[in-house]
Chains A and B, each alone.
Chain A
């Protein structure tokens, strides 16, 4: 009876830990860079979990094992310290964090790599209270978001996309959870980053830097499409002045997700 209780308790604990681990993992990464970030997170998490269980375990053990008993009339041994022990528990964490730092530095050099010559798609993101403008300067495309219709950034799978971030008024944060990435838009300061999407799909994003009244309403999406779809999308989305009626493909799956409103920059 007692044993069955213990077993079911154990099963419950395992289930709890398993679901807990599920819950505390990052979102599925969808860029090459994010894969590395996820691995780094998992490394940090593994070390953190070990430290947590070790220290919390020591605390729990101490408070259970060393409770004062009625027979404890004499003082316990008055230990004031132990130099060797103290050096060890200073040095070991020091080395541990330094190793993680080296690992994180390596990942950072990839995540933060910016080589303009490698950029295959260039987009400009402008943040303003309280929406976004996504522009493709090479193609003359500008997409303005509205509170009713969040803007969508369309990028081709497997290509290096370079994002230039500009703020028109206050700080904003360009944050896509599944990219495991965010970068601030700071007025007076242009930020650039690159990413390589590696999974088709539509991913939500949101402003992460508090920007005033309707901060919570600055949503957007990023849609990763195949390079062919991307080419079609570019043609379809390009403003009217340059129609290329010769070969508008009939099977084009009408990609323009009416999230797009075309205006001129005079809208500012």
Chain B
């Protein structure tokens, strides 16, 4: 505690220049966080425009053209410039600390990875000011995304921006892998690594295998659009289905890229607030690896209705990929079982993740039996599914992580009352938004429509979803207020405010530039627990 105060005083004042040129993984992690929150504002605003338009039938606020741009950019921004960078933020800040390393393996490449994110994000959204943003959906299926059917500059900007953010991801993945394989502290064997580090590792492998494939598709689409290529143009001998195959080969694993680190965050939080070790550590690692491996064999379940994929294989693999995720649920619950649970805000969000991501897992399994997929594909059921995964899963996990690591990042505690208000509003809001979408989907409402018939029977549920959407927006106000007041006069956090298990809590808050003055002995996956209590309980299975 005393060292914290001393160091804060001794630290040089951080100037803007220092932040812009930093190669410190912790500062880069914080920069990622700030950038992600700014783009969250952009993506959230776009979502609220979409919800406002859909609140009632008829076109009230937007034209079809702006509507199409907005739902396209909402998804693109949220996926590429919010969720993935948020997880990169947590990974960047925490992983070197967790494994007892002084920094990432390639600090300057790390800085490059970060700066490509806001830059590419600006390129993508600049379309709104330059005559129209991308309007072919975030999936950008040709021919709708071809120059003939999307002639505006937005599509080109989108392609370039996604290529850039993809490159940033690839660089980041290499950096994480080298850091994790080469820079672990003495005693930190692979099977003593915190689960969050494991999930970042597996995610990095997925990024490294998947993202270059997406980039290749983007290059081809760019050539088609601008240099007369015909990769995806069937009228010139190309194949429109080819895009879907390549795109989903990346974009299905991308869902795991967006959820595995969030699972990692949850797996750090639940043991700490239950005062128990994670139940089945090794099983959890294997389940993570299994999800990573199976993740590359299910992409065509997005294409069941195209009539050009081998259905039984992708169907059975889609069923099987549900299993390792199910295993994790039992691990998390068994961790809480007979524990001593305290409900600080991070734990609230973690339990929120459990209860909501469960829905996102279950409603996804409905797409595995192909005939059922024929009935629900491209309807609002799918919109419900992806939001229970990416909002109920990834985003609640991210919020849990932010509440959990904020004291480490800043040295200040966040206010619990405001945190709980944030959670309650967000939890109610998300269910009010996304639960009705299941029913809309079953009653035949296709996704991506700007307008619907007033006689279709979809009015009330759409209105409910819109109210829910604005409630989610509202829920962020207590959060930002909380950050503001806590930074100014929050309670001092100290090194380890949560009685946590892993190395990042063995140093001051915030840690010095070099991370650690000394490390505790690492003889298990819970070095701090061991230091506090001695090793109790038997060896994990």
Asked if A pairs with B, the answer is yes
Please, how many angstroms separate the alpha-carbon atoms of A142 and B12 in the complex? Answer: 79
Please, how many angstroms separate the alpha-carbon atoms of A56 and B352 in the complex? Answer: 11
Chain B nearest CB, measured from A31 CB (Å): 11
Asked if B476 is an interface residue, CB under 8 A from chain A, the answer is no
Candidates A81, A97, A206, A214; contact of B540 at CB < 8 Å: A81
* Residues of A in contact with B (beta carbons under 8 Å apart): 23-27, 33-34, 36-37, 40-41, 44-45, 48, 51-52, 55-56, 58-59, 62-63, 66-69, 72, 75-83, 85-86, 89-90, 93-94, 97-98, 100-101, 103-105, 107-108, 111-112, 129, 169-171, 173, 175, 177-178, 180-184, 186-189, 191-193, 204, 206-217, 219
Q: Are B541 and A66 interface neighbours, CB within 8 A? A: no
Q: Which of A67, A90, A193 has the most CB of B within 10 A?
A: A90
Asked if B297 is an interface residue, CB under 8 A from chain A, the answer is no
Q: Which of A56, A68, A204 has the most CB of B within 10 A?
A: A68
Question: Which residues in A have their C-beta under 8 angstroms from that of B131?
Answer: none
Q: Are A97 and B368 interface neighbours, CB within 8 A? A: yes
Residues of chain B in range 271-322 having any CB-CB distance to chain A below 8 Å: 274-277, 279-283, 305-308, 311-312, 315-316, 319-320, 322
Candidates A79, A209, A213, A219; contact of B65 at CB < 8 Å: A213
Q: Are B449 and A215 interface neighbours, CB within 8 A? A: yes
Candidates B312, B336, B533; contact of A62 at CB < 8 Å: B336
Chain A nearest CB, measured from B340 CB (Å): 4
Chain B nearest CB, measured from A43 CB (Å): 9
Asked if B516 is an interface residue, CB under 8 A from chain A, the answer is no
Q: Are B452 and A171 interface neighbours, CB within 8 A? A: no
Stretch of B3-11, B35-43, B353-361, B464-472 contacting A (4+ beta carbons < 8 Å)? B353-361
Asked if B212 is an interface residue, CB under 8 A from chain A, the answer is no
Candidates A75, A104, A108, A169; contact of B533 at CB < 8 Å: A75
Asked if B537 is an interface residue, CB under 8 A from chain A, the answer is yes
* Residues of B in contact with A (beta carbons under 8 Å apart): 64-65, 68, 135-137, 141, 143-144, 149-150, 234-235, 238-241, 274-277, 279-283, 305-308, 311-312, 315-316, 319-320, 322-323, 326-327, 329-331, 333-334, 336-343, 351, 354-355, 358-359, 362-363, 365-366, 368-372, 374-375, 377-379, 438-439, 442-444, 446-453, 456, 533, 536-541
Question: Which residues in A have their C-beta under 8 angstroms from that of B451?
Answer: 216-217
Please, how many angstroms separate the alpha-carbon atoms of A58 and B334 in the complex? Answer: 9
Candidates B143, B234, B308, B449; contact of A216 at CB < 8 Å: B449
Q: Are B374 and A76 interface neighbours, CB within 8 A? A: no
Candidates A48, A97, A178, A209; contact of B320 at CB < 8 Å: A97
Q: Are B143 and A86 interface neighbours, CB within 8 A? A: no
Chain B nearest CB, measured from A21 CB (Å): 11
Chain B nearest CB, measured from A94 CB (Å): 5
Q: Are A105 and B240 interface neighbours, CB within 8 A? A: no
Question: Which residues in A have their C-beta under 8 angstroms from that of B283?
Answer: 81, 86, 90
Please, how many angstroms separate the alpha-carbon atoms of A29 and B171 in the complex? Answer: 51
Please, how many angstroms separate the alpha-carbon atoms of A37 and B375 in the complex? Answer: 8
Q: Are A48 and B327 interface neighbours, CB within 8 A? A: no
Question: Which residues in A have their C-beta under 8 angstroms from that of B239?
Answer: 188
Chain B nearest CB, measured from A62 CB (Å): 4
Candidates A51, A62, A89, A181; contact of B362 at CB < 8 Å: A51
A selection of 30 A-B contacts at a CB cut-off of 8 Å is A23-B439, A24-B438, A34-B375, A41-B372, A56-B355, A59-B333, A63-B343, A66-B274, A66-B340, A78-B537, A80-B280, A86-B283, A90-B323, A93-B327, A94-B320, A97-B322, A101-B319, A101-B368, A108-B311, A108-B315, A170-B141, A182-B377, A187-B240, A191-B306, A204-B456, A208-B305, A209-B141, A212-B144, A214-B64, A216-B450
Q: Are A63 and B351 interface neighbours, CB within 8 A? A: yes
Q: Are A37 and B371 interface neighbours, CB within 8 A? A: yes
Q: Are B537 and A186 interface neighbours, CB within 8 A? A: no
Q: Are B362 and A52 interface neighbours, CB within 8 A? A: yes
A52 and B307 in contact, given A86-B541, A169-B149, A188-B240 (Cβ under 8 angstroms): no
Chain A nearest CB, measured from B185 CB (Å): 22
Chain A nearest CB, measured from B371 CB (Å): 4
Question: Which residues in B have their C-beta under 8 angstroms from that of A66?
Answer: 274, 336-341
Question: Which residues in B have their C-beta under 8 angstroms from that of A104?
Answer: 315, 368-372
CB closest residue in chain B, given A97:
B319
Please, how many angstroms separate the alpha-carbon atoms of A166 and B434 in the complex? Answer: 34
Q: Are A48 and B144 interface neighbours, CB within 8 A? A: no
Candidates B307, B330, B336; contact of A184 at CB < 8 Å: B307
Question: Which residues in B have their C-beta under 8 angstroms from that of A63?
Answer: 336, 341, 343, 351
A180 and B374 in contact, given A112-B311, A212-B144 (Cβ under 8 angstroms): yes
Please, how many angstroms separate the alpha-carbon atoms of A93 and B325 in the complex? Answer: 10
Please, how many angstroms separate the alpha-carbon atoms of A68 and B319 in the complex? Answer: 37
CB closest residue in chain B, given A78:
B537
Q: Are B541 and A83 interface neighbours, CB within 8 A? A: yes
CB closest residue in chain B, given A174:
B305
Please, how many angstroms separate the alpha-carbon atoms of A34 and B444 in the complex? Answer: 14
Please, how many angstroms separate the alpha-carbon atoms of A89 and B287 in the complex? Answer: 12
A59 and B354 in contact, given A66-B341, A77-B338, A77-B537 (Cβ under 8 angstroms): yes
What number of A-B contacts does a CB cutoff of 8 Å give? 282
Q: Are A100 and B442 interface neighbours, CB within 8 A? A: no
Please, how many angstroms separate the alpha-carbon atoms of A72 and B363 in the complex? Answer: 38
A90 and B327 in contact, given A26-B442, A62-B341, A210-B448 (Cβ under 8 angstroms): yes
Please, how many angstroms separate the alpha-carbon atoms of A81 and B359 in the complex? Answer: 25
Please, how many angstroms separate the alpha-carbon atoms of A34 and B135 in the complex? Answer: 34
Please, how many angstroms separate the alpha-carbon atoms of A1 and B447 in the complex? Answer: 48
Q: Are A69 and B319 interface neighbours, CB within 8 A? A: no
Chain A nearest CB, measured from B239 CB (Å): 7
Q: Are B234 and A69 interface neighbours, CB within 8 A? A: no
Q: Are B319 and A98 interface neighbours, CB within 8 A? A: yes
A175 and B446 in contact, given A62-B337, A186-B241, A189-B234 (Cβ under 8 angstroms): yes
Please, how many angstroms separate the alpha-carbon atoms of A103 and B315 in the complex? Answer: 12
Candidates A62, A77, A82, A187; contact of B235 at CB < 8 Å: A187
Q: Are A170 and B149 interface neighbours, CB within 8 A? A: yes
Candidates B241, B311, B366, B539; contact of A80 at CB < 8 Å: B539
Please, how many angstroms separate the alpha-carbon atoms of A215 and B306 in the complex? Answer: 18
Q: Are A80 and B369 interface neighbours, CB within 8 A? A: no
Chain B nearest CB, measured from A16 CB (Å): 12
14 additional contacts (CB under 8 A) given A86-B541, A101-B315: A26-B375, A27-B442, A44-B369, A51-B326, A56-B355, A58-B333, A67-B343, A86-B327, A181-B374, A184-B307, A186-B240, A208-B378, A212-B150, A215-B450
Question: Which residues in A have their C-beta under 8 angstroms from that of B307?
Answer: 183-184, 186, 189, 191-193
Q: Which of A36, A58, A81 has the most CB of B within 10 A?
A: A81
Please, how many angstroms separate the alpha-carbon atoms of A97 and B324 in the complex? Answer: 12
Q: Are B537 and A111 interface neighbours, CB within 8 A? A: no
Please, how many angstroms separate the alpha-carbon atoms of A58 and B316 in the complex? Answer: 28
Chain A nearest CB, measured from B36 CB (Å): 27
Q: Are A76 and B340 interface neighbours, CB within 8 A? A: yes
Q: Are A24 and B144 interface neighbours, CB within 8 A? A: no
